[in-house]
Amino acid sequence: MSTGFQVSTGRGLAALRRLKSRQPAPERCELCASTIPDEHQHLVDPGNRRLLCVCGACAILFDHAGITQYRRVPRDVRALTFDIDDQSWSRLSIPISLVFFFRSSVSGTVMALYPSPAGPTEASVDEETWEDLASVHPALSGLRADVEALLVKRVKASREYYIVPIDECYKLTGVIRRHWQGFLGGDAAWQRIDGFFADLKQRARPEGAGVHA
């Protein structure tokens, strides 16, 4: 009886060790290697179009206006109250009504990124067309290069426009990459996309409202 208990305990400890070894390692700051929580800040490397996961202490070392390799991604989400009319939208030549726009400091142009059956598709936006749009909607002129984007959802009767941190756009891109099927995406993908926008709407502050800590 005693021997059986010892064998059983030994097997149990071995199983616990195997279970522990399978647990994912904690995420770490890509600059100082300190442990960071699931909700953490990001830096963007514009030259390589790469996001870095960082701790709060490292994030504050980088300012968007500074001349560094990395730029700190803001955390503020703003819901815009304007609507882009159909004629202006058609001038942008975007074949799908789910897209984000950002200005690249590397290319000096406004880029559009949207889902397609072949994966995320990227295209440059005509500068004159963008400037015409920004003249009607001044909030677009204030987009911070590389770190902020205009996120647009014009699906059926829905019209949603947000200025968001660029990492939110890449998070949405990941959702689409995992769940998009066929030419139109499929019900499962759109349920995930709708959930993403519902969460974004809940977190967003209205256009013109102050930022709260």
* Residues 102-141 pLDDT 10s: 999 999 999 999 877 677 789 999 999 999 999 999 999 9
The answer, yes or no, to whether residue 12 has pLDDT greater than 90, is: no
Give residue-wise pLDDT tens across range 187-197.
999 999 999 99
pLDDT value of position 211: 47
pLDDT at 167: 94
DSSP 28: B
pLDDT above 70 for 168 = yes
The Cα diameter of the chain in Å comes to 84
| Predicted pLDDT at 116 | 73
> Average pLDDT in the 47-69 region?
83
Q: Does 33 or 209 have the greater pLDDT score? A: 33
Percent with pLDDT over 70 in the chain: 83
Do 152 and 143 touch, CB atoms closer than 8 A? no
Q: What is the pLDDT of residue 73?
A: 95
Write down the pLDDT at residue 197: 95
Count of C-beta atoms within a 10 Å radius of residue 198: 9
pLDDT at residue 101, as a whole number: 97
pLDDT at 1 over 50: no
Q: Which residue has the tokens 């990459």?
A: 177
Q: 6 pLDDT band (50/70/90 cuts)?
A: very low
Q: Is the pLDDT of residue 161 over 90?
A: yes
pLDDT at 212: 40
Nearest-angstrom CA–CA distance, 32 and 54: 8
| Cβ-based neighbour number of residue 18 at 10 Å | 9
* pLDDT reported for residue 72: 94
Element (H, E) at 206: strand 205-206
Contact (Cβ atoms closer than 8 angstroms) between residue 51 and residue 43:
yes
Task: Pull the structure tokens for residue 3.
Answer: 């021997």
Reported pTM? 0.82
pLDDT in tens, 77-90: 999 998 999 999 99
Confidence of residue 67 (pLDDT cuts 50, 70, 90): low
